[in-house]
């Protein structure tokens, strides 16, 4: 059995995710756990935080601690070689120069996809005990969390058609068109790509392995974004286990009005996010840069808890079958949001705000029609009728 622990830190830009991630990783390493801290933010700052060079290959930062900053050009070469070659050839055939073709091969969010591949490999090879992920700001991370479901949905529906089309096209229009058709090896790489994405998805939604900790500050706008993040992470079936309230001012560093405002927001956070674990981190008097400063931050952050402890194993989604069959999805703070639901034969497409998730249904629900979808407090309950899908009484 693999006992890998994956901790994902996310939050609004500027709340201190990188410092919190590094402090967590250092604390784990000091406890003798084989640890790696990985940045998926295109604007990496792990090197700046620890004062040591972190690059695209795992590098030792201290005993038991490795660091990795995703370099998407290297990832393209290592993981998507055939796909990259095809994209280059496709754009080059249309007169695009090599540099422009290389840029077009990189689409937004590939850093997080590359991180998923690393996580899948770490899990499979049992290379580490703890993986700490420092993510891009919340909005980017949320969009990317939808990618595994979306990619799998399109792959299952269109890949077979695409292969058949290409086989016919090679013998007909492929002889005269001005762009290259993908080779068999390119198609196989697409298959491997999808299998790895599916495997990584299963890992990151497993609450026994992976959980998310939201980093916030005691400020109104930041709290509001943290609430939205909690909703959308739950939509993607990610287990949120804790909230880290960073940069709490001490009485000696703020006036009475500021302290009163901060106390109000701290109380609000406690009330809003209960029963999640709440970490309160005082702002250190000096800039948090270098191992010693990060050690102090870690000691303050985990004064009463193990850094890799699992504070919640609650999976946001439950599927209950039997006489009363339904899907329950925990969506905190979504009660006032517009929820749209679209049904296909084998999946549900759920939209809340600007985010959409495709939920693959168990085979046993393919023939069951949706009866209702209603919010009950923080729970979205999707009920299924007893008769087969499409039947009428």
pLDDT in tens, the chain (393 residues): 457 999 999 999 889 999 999 999 999 999 999 999 999 876 678 888 888 888 888 999 999 999 998 877 677 667 666 666 666 666 666 666 655 556 555 555 567 778 888 899 999 988 899 999 998 777 777 766 776 776 776 667 666 666 776 666 666 655 545 566 677 777 777 788 888 888 888 999 999 999 999 999 999 999 999 999 999 899 989 999 999 999 898 876 668 888 899 999 999 999 999 999 999 998 876 778 889 999 999 999 999 899 999 999 999 999 888 778 899 999 999 877 778 888 888 889 888 877 888 888 888 888 888 888 888 889 999 999 875 444 433
Cβ distance 311 to 241 under 8 Å?
yes
Within the chain, all domains assigned CATH 3.40.50.300 are found at 5-74+109-145+202-301
CB 214 within 8 A of CB 226: yes
70 exposed, middle or buried (CB, 10 Å; 0-12, 13-18, 19+)?
Answer: buried
At residue 136, what are phi and psi to the nearest 5 degrees?
-70, 170
Q: From CA 117, how far away is CA 295, in angstroms rounded?
A: 29
Tell me if 58 sits within 8 A of 74, measured CB to CB.
Answer: no
Contacts of 51 (CB under 8 A, 6+ apart): 289, 290, 291
Residue 381 CA: distances (Å) to CA of 241, 323, 377: 22, 15, 10
pLDDT at res. 60 = 93
Show the tokens assigned to 292.
Answer: 């010693």
- Write a three-state SS string for 180-243: CCCCHHHHHHHHHHHHHHHHHHHHHCCCCCEEEEEEECCCHHHHHHHHHHHHHHHHCCCCEEEE
Written as one string, the DSSP assignment of 111-135 is HHHHHHHHHHHHHHHT--SEEEEEP
What pLDDT score does 168 carry? 67
Report DSSP state, residue 367: T
Output the six-digit token pair for 72: 């998407």
Question: 50: which residues sit within 8 A by CB, 6+ positions away?
Answer: 22, 61, 67, 289, 290, 291, 294
Homologous superfamily of 5-74+109-145+202-301: P-loop containing nucleotide triphosphate hydrolases (3.40.50.300)
The structure tokens 């931050």 sit at 297
Q: Give, as one character, the DSSP assignment of residue 366.
A: T
Where are the CATH 2.60.40.790 domain residues in the chain?
A: 317-388
* Confidence (pLDDT) at 391: 40
Under CATH, which number does the domain 317-388 receive?
Answer: 2.60.40.790
- Report pTM: 0.85
């Amino acid at each position: 059995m693999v006992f890998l622990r994956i901790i994902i830190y996310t939050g609004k830009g500027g709340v201190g995710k990188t410092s919190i991630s590094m402090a967590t990783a250092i604390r784990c390493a000091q406890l003798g756990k084989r640890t790696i801290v990985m940045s998926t933010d295109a604007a990496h700052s792990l090197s700046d935080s620890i004062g040591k060079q972190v690059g695209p290959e795992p590098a030792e930062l201290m005993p038991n601690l490795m660091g990795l900053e995703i370099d998407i050009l290297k990832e393209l070469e290592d993981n998507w070689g055939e796909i990259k070659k095809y994209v280059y050839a496709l754009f080059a055939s249309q007169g695009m120069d090599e540099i422009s073709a290389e840029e077009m091969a990189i689409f937004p969010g590939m850093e997080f996809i590359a991180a998923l591949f690393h996580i899948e490999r770490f899990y499979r090879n049992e290379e580490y005990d703890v993986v700490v992920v420092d993510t891009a700001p919340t909005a980017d991370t949320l969009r990317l969390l939808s990618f595994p479901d979306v990619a799998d949905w399109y792959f299952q529906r269109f890949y077979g058609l695409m292969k058949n089309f290409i086989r016919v096209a090679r013998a007909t229009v492929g002889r005269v068109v001005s762009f290259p058709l993908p080779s068999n090896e390119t198609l196989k790489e697409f298959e491997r790509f999808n299998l790895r994405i599916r495997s990584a998805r299963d890992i990151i939604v497993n609450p026994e392995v992976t959980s998310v900790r939201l980093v916030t500050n005691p400020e109104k706008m930041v709290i509001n974004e943290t609430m939205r993040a909690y909703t959308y992470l739950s939509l993607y079936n990610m287990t949120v286990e804790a909230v880290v309230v960073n940069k709490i001012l001490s009485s000696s560093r703020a006036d009475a009005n500021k302290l009163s405002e901060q106390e109000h927001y701290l109380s609000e956070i406690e009330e809003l996010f209960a029963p999640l674990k709440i970490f309160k981190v005082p702002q250190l008097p000096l800039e948090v840069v270098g191992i010693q400063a990060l050690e102090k931050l870690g000691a303050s952050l985990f004064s009463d808890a193990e850094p890799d402890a699992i504070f919640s194993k609650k999976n946001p989604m439950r599927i209950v079958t039997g006489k009363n069959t339904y899907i329950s999805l925990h969506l905190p703070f979504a009660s006032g949001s517009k929820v749209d639901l679209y049904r296909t034969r084998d999946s549900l497409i759920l939209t809340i705000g600007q985010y959409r998730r495709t939920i693959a249904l168990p085979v046993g629900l393919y023939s069951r029609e949706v009866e209702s979808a209603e919010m009950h407090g923080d729970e979205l309950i999707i009920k299924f009728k007893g008769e087969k899908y499409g039947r009428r009484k």
